[in-house]
Amino acid sequence: MSTAETETLETTAEVARATAAQVLAEASRRRTIAVISHPDAGKSTLTEALALHANAIREAGHVHGKAGRAGVATDWQDMEKQRGISISSAVLQLDHRGMVVNVVDTPGHADFSEDTYRALTAVDAVIMLVDAARGMEVQTRKLFGVCKQRGLPVITVVNKWDRPGQEALALLDEIESVTGLKPTPITWPVGIAGDFRGLLERGSGEYVKYTKAPGGATRALEQRMSAADAAALEGPSWQQALEEHELLSETGADHDEEEFLAFRTTPVYFTAAVANTGVGQVLDALVDVAPSPHDQRDVAGATHTLAEGFSAQVFKTQTGMNPAHRDRLAFARIHSGVFHRGMTVRDDRSGRPMVLKHVQTVFGADRSTVDVAWPGDVIGLVNARHVVVGDTLSENGRISYPPLPVFAPEHFRTVRPADLRVGKQFRQGLRELDAEGVVRVLTSDSRGDGEPVVSAVGALQFDVVQYRMTHEFRSPVLFTELPYTTARIIDAADAPLLRAHRGTEVVHHTDGRTFALFTDEWRVRSFERDNPGVRLEELVATSS
């Protein structure tokens, strides 16, 4: 055994004996946040700009960048790069001012809501990104509703201030009317939307003047100056910003940490993420304003403290991150205790013990082995194939955190391989995509295993299946649309009654559940009227 390996083992042994004070100290250094918004508000661009300001990368790329430029690190899948959208949650771990910031970039498109909602169960606060021109859009409103339900503190970032948009005060009014939270701006724009000159930092009264770097791939140059110098340089634009700042103070729109954590206010920042402008203040907010991890309640309502033994919950699985090895990564958020490589944990669902030897931290698609992790950190379990989304892992095996959201599918298609010679790849690919939650793969007694039914929340999920089956699993597929629009969970013993009902099909999932598919809600009500003793369970979103 090498000296380096011996030192690692000694360090791991020391970590395994970490005191409660050490666990709490490390947890206090963590910030775990998600970025949410409507599609095309700039989530992935902001996430990458945060990484740039934390010195985690040297250049930021853009999904729709110029030829030859790198793609956004969090949009690592080829389909994401080609379409310019995020289709899967991604994780970045950043170091800033001695703190560890875990950032989860979530999909914005409604068709991938299930992935986003699950990611929100793994964070302690969110950045809500608002387009300066379009304000609070539909998907942003829906996702805010989830944050409200979970009591997640919300940091608001008004993005794209370098483009024409609404007036800043009007945006604050809209944010307050939609969310019920009082906006308390930390930074205030100098210059109207589309004429972004710089920022007034309301706490210090200083002016930060920005000069965009060539191409926008590196940090914008910052020049700090006093209010007097700002007035001389910017004239009426500075005077207007100053008057609006004073008006905000008069109306009580100054940041108060207790009010923010109590979900009564939302601090607001103004940025132009594509130009890396105003992003440094947002990164500082994640350290100064966002909360650290806190105690969690299990499914029975009992509280588990940060300093208790190790526990974590799996909120996502992903294959294809390392095409050379076709491995599978299960993402888990640590809720308590300390992870150390080689430790043994148990899965609450199966009761099976696991030795955590191969665990990694993730930066977009880049991965590195981790020896130690603390509450708030997100770790990736390599090839833990019996672990599924929602499972709780703990040292004693007796902790179960609340179930994660499950959405009712509204789209159904049969799928078959375009080439029958690649049946093995076809079956493997569908198994992996089902395990990830990209779609739910169902088998029908009448159709057989060769042509399963796939169900999805949104139609765009089928495009993901088509692309990944073709490019990752080398098995192009053909879809046939089915007339069903809704599903109900049924008792397997009632399957013959459902099969006999017109406009209904019975299918099975590998988790042991049996489903009845109906063409419309009228068919559901008709069956319930004729069979009052048969229980039909709705598949709806659940949250902790």
**Strand order of the sheet with strand 504-508?**
477-481, 411-417, 448-456, 440-444, 504-508, 514-518, 486-490, 537-538
Q: Return all residues near 441 (Cβ < 8 A) that are at least 6 apart.
A: 430, 431, 433, 434, 452, 453, 454, 509, 510
Tell me if 108 is assigned to a ligand binding site.
Answer: yes
| Spatial distance between the Cα atoms of 152 and 117, rounded to a whole number of angstroms | 12
**Contact in structure between 267 and 289 (CB atoms under 8 Å):** yes
Strand ranges (DSSP E) for 202-299?
Answer: 207-211, 221-225, 265-270, 296-297
* Residue 268 tokens, joined: 């607001």
Q: Which two tokens stand for residue 339?
A: 């992870």
Q: How far apart are CA 99 and CA 102, in angstroms?
A: 10
Q: Are 268 and 156 in contact (CB under 8 A)?
A: yes
Q: How far apart are CA 401 and CA 308, in angstroms?
A: 14
Is 109 annotated to bind a ligand? Reply is yes
Between CA 456 and CA 442 the distance in angstroms is: 11
Per the document, the length of the chain is 544
Angstrom CA distances, 218 to 52, 63, 159, 215, 366, stand at: 7, 16, 18, 8, 20
Using alpha carbons, select from 307, 336, 315 the residue that is nearest to residue 394: 336
- 107 a known binding residue? yes
Contact residues for 61 (Cβ-Cβ < 8 A; gap 6+): 48, 69, 70, 71, 72, 73, 217
Q: 102 forms bridges with which residues in the sheet?
A: 32, 93
Q: What is the C-alpha separation between 318 and 316, in angstroms, rounded?
A: 7
- C-alpha distances in angstroms, 256 versus 2, 162, 171, 288, 503? 53, 28, 20, 12, 57
What CA–CA distances, in Å, run from 81 to 29, 437, 469?
Answer: 33, 21, 17
The beta strands (E) that lie in 226-358 are given as 265-270, 296-297, 303-304, 311-319, 328-336, 339-340, 344-347, 353-355
Binding residues for GTP, by number, are 105-109
**Binding-site positions:** 105-109
